Amino acid sequence: MKEKLLTFFIGDCYFGINVTLVKEINRRVDWTPVPGAKPYVTGFFNMRGQVVTLFDLRVVLGLEGDRRQPGTACIIMKIPKDPNQVGFLIDRPGDVIEVESDEFEVPPANVGPVEGEFINNIVKLKEELLIVLNTEKMFSEHGSIDN
């Protein structure tokens, strides 16, 4: 069985998420910073009359690098049973790819505790490794984002 993944880059890291969880990709987003917000909250922006909370996956995943400035791309998620709109910033979008279920591998045990809890699987591609994220855990009320 194949699974479709939306791929994207944050720095040099190549990530993927299940395409069915994606509402849309916005290629250029200008947001408003939120004073006193948690470090992983980048800010808010207005998407056709709805307020969207933007998260910085660099902070959530423990990646190095500068926080992005307004005008970058983001992925808006479909969050079941939650009226709030959430999204996260990316450096650049990739493609939608199909991966056979037997190509998914368990992440290595030496991945850090915070970063590792948000990784579902690893997929070995021809040229690079694809890290498949567990967005449900990232955006759930029990995940580290809400703590």
Tell me: pLDDT of 144 over 50.
no
**Which residues lie below 8 Å from residue 49, measured CB to CB, with a gap of 6+?**
none
Closest by CA to 8, choosing from 123, 118, 130, is 130
**Which residues lie below 8 Å from residue 69, measured CB to CB, with a gap of 6+?**
none
Provide the pLDDT for residue 92: 87
Tell me: pLDDT of 23 over 80.
yes
Cβ atoms within 10 A of the Cβ of 9, count? 13
Provide the pLDDT for residue 140: 67
Average pLDDT score over residue span 41-51: 90
Distance CA 95, CA 53 (A): 24
Which residues form the domain of 14? Answer: 2-146
Tell me: pLDDT of 52 over 60.
yes
Provide the pLDDT for residue 11: 84
Q: How confident is the model over 82-121, as pLDDT tens digits?
A: 677 899 999 889 999 999 999 999 887 776 544 567 888 9
Question: 43: pLDDT confidence band, cut at 50, 70 and 90?
Answer: very high
3-state secondary structure of 136: helix
How many domains are contained in the chain?
1
CATH of the domain at 32: 2.40.50.180
CA-based end-to-end distance of the chain? 35
